[in-house]
Amino acid sequence: MADPARKTNPAPELADAYARVRGDSRALAAPLSDADATVQSMPDASPAKWHLAHVTWFFETMVLKPNVPGYRAFDDSFNYLFNSYYESVGERQPRPRRGMITRPHLDRILDYRAHVDAAVAELLAGDPAPSVLDLVELGLHHEQQHQELLLTDILHLFAQSPLRPAYRDPTPLPVAQGPGTARFLDFDGGIIEIGHDGDGFAYDCEGPRHQALIQPFRIADRCVTNGEWIEFIRDGGYRDPLLWLSDGWAQILEHRWSAPFYWEECDGEFWSMTLRGMQPVDPNAPVTHVSYFEADAFASWAGKRLPTEAEWEHASKGLPLAGNFAEGGAGRLRPKPAEPGRPGLRQMFGDVWEWTRSPFTPYPGFKAAEGAVGEYNGKFMNGQYVLRGGSCATPTGHIRATYRNFFQPDKRWQFSGLRLAEDA
């Protein structure tokens, strides 16, 4: 989280950012019916209605109630319904049962958002303390995280329907030129610095900035493609236990994985459920919806490995934060092939979150913030792996080279892919 002792955004600029981010969430929800927004398709996912309410609960609970004398809560029951995991704030609806919240109706959630938005606008029009501005800024980045989750959770929900509805225009996207054979770029070893430098917003887990020792390595100039993954499938990759970590092979046996999540084979061709409905798998686009276990097995099959997060961040140094992002829900919402022929590293940002081989653990000197916001990241630093770079469902402007996403190694419903690396 940003240093609470300084402003990272003056209040007028923050008010503009607040209006833009909150408007993006409303736009993401616009194609959804109340039923679409209510159903929970699995315990890891949340209903769209819950996402819209939870991010609003964050502003009400963390910003307005402590800092606006006489603030009137919209509905006292919402503190139980829409708290996520903040134990210090109070009891909450169990995560696997968020789909049981059939009431309130989606329209009332939108009224709740309007109530809180008006109060935040009034707060920012005054002279709020720097610590309040930092909380608002944190809330906006938190909401952008949930914008991506809303998309991935809707995709999972629609994939369960026999109708396979499309969230966006189902017209097939044009097939782009292939990205060419992956090239491996060399990087020297040595003592490097990674982590956020304190300039601008960052989550607490992105710091402190610190030294790390890396050995010389090579990293692929693009992500692994669907076409390459099909070769892995055809070569028996999902049937060879020698390629798999023990827990990964247990997933194979239990869940009968034989392809990335959402893939189906029909008459020898692979199709995939996307936010644009069922679409042919583009062999030139990055593979997505694969777990850490699958990414690690593919790397073993290819005679390579996954990069560490220190290697990934070092390689990305100086690259523009540009790529195939969600653009407020108006983007492609599917990974696209790497631009052919361009020198240097491609696709480092956008398209797919890239698994690294690094566990999500605290950096040296990490200390969680005091109070409820200290529960944001620190308590999840076990049993998860770091992903880098953002995806086609990540809001534009949300990503940084130091951004550490994290999931358990068996999770597949996010836009997660991989880039290969090797020792030099």
Express each pLDDT in 374-412 by its tens digit. 667 778 899 999 999 999 999 999 999 999 999 999 999
Question: How far is 105 from 109, CA to CA, in rounded Å?
Answer: 7
- Residue 295 placed within a domain: yes
DSSP structure string for 135-175: HHHHHHHHHHHHHHHHHHHHHHHHHHSTT---SS--SPPPP
- Overall number of domains in the chain: 2
Q: Are residues 247 and 134 in the same domain?
A: no
Question: How far is 159 from 139, CA to CA, in rounded Å?
Answer: 30
Q: Are residues 259 and 338 in the same domain?
A: yes
- Residue 136 placed within a domain: yes
- Residue 173 placed within a domain: no
Residue 9 reports pLDDT greater than 70: no
Lowest-confidence region among 86-95, 364-373, 388-397: 364-373
Residue 59 reports pLDDT greater than 80: yes
Using the 3D structure, point to which of 111, 126, 160 is the last residue of a domain.
Answer: 160
Buried b (16+ CB within 10 A) or exposed e, 290-315: bbbbbbbbbbbbbebebbbbbbbbbb
- Residue 410 placed within a domain: yes
Predicted pLDDT of residue 6: 38
Q: Are residues 356 and 244 in the same domain?
A: yes
Say if residues 292 and 355 touch (Cβ distance below 8 Å). yes
Residue 33 reports pLDDT greater than 70: yes
- The CATH code of the domain that includes 192 is 3.90.1580.10
Q: Are residues 189 and 143 in the same domain?
A: no
Say if residues 18 and 124 touch (Cβ distance below 8 Å). yes
Alpha carbons within 13 A on the beta-carbon side of 416: 27
Residue 1 reports pLDDT greater than 50: no
More confident residue, 59 or 377: 59
Predicted pLDDT of residue 8: 57
Q: Are residues 120 and 201 in the same domain?
A: no
DSSP type of residue 337: P
Q: Are residues 142 and 194 in the same domain?
A: no
Say if residues 372 and 330 touch (Cβ distance below 8 Å). no
Q: What is the chain's length?
A: 424
- Residue 27 placed within a domain: yes
- Residue 1 placed within a domain: no
Predicted pLDDT of residue 333: 95
More confident residue, 120 or 380: 120
Using the 3D structure, point to which of 100, 128, 160 is the last residue of a domain.
Answer: 160
Using the 3D structure, point to which of 160, 195, 227 is the last residue of a domain.
Answer: 160
pLDDT tens per residue, range 227-262 = 999 999 999 999 999 999 999 999 999 999 999 999
Q: Are residues 369 and 410 in the same domain?
A: yes
> What confidence tier does 341 reach under pLDDT thresholds 50, 70, 90?
confident
Residue 2 reports pLDDT greater than 70: no
Q: Are residues 299 and 349 in the same domain?
A: yes
Predicted pLDDT of residue 176: 76
Predicted pLDDT of residue 329: 73
Residue 125 reports pLDDT greater than 80: yes
Give me 304's structure tokens: 């390579």
Lowest-confidence region among 163-177, 215-229, 273-287, 291-305: 163-177
Q: Are residues 119 and 193 in the same domain?
A: no
Q: Are residues 150 and 222 in the same domain?
A: no
Q: Are residues 154 and 193 in the same domain?
A: no
Give me 221's structure tokens: 């100039």
Residue 27 reports pLDDT greater than 50: yes
Q: Are residues 142 and 195 in the same domain?
A: no
Per the structure, the complete domain to which residue 308 belongs is given by 184-423
- Residue 352 placed within a domain: yes
Residue 174 reports pLDDT greater than 90: no
Q: What's the whole-number mean pLDDT along residues 103-123?
A: 97
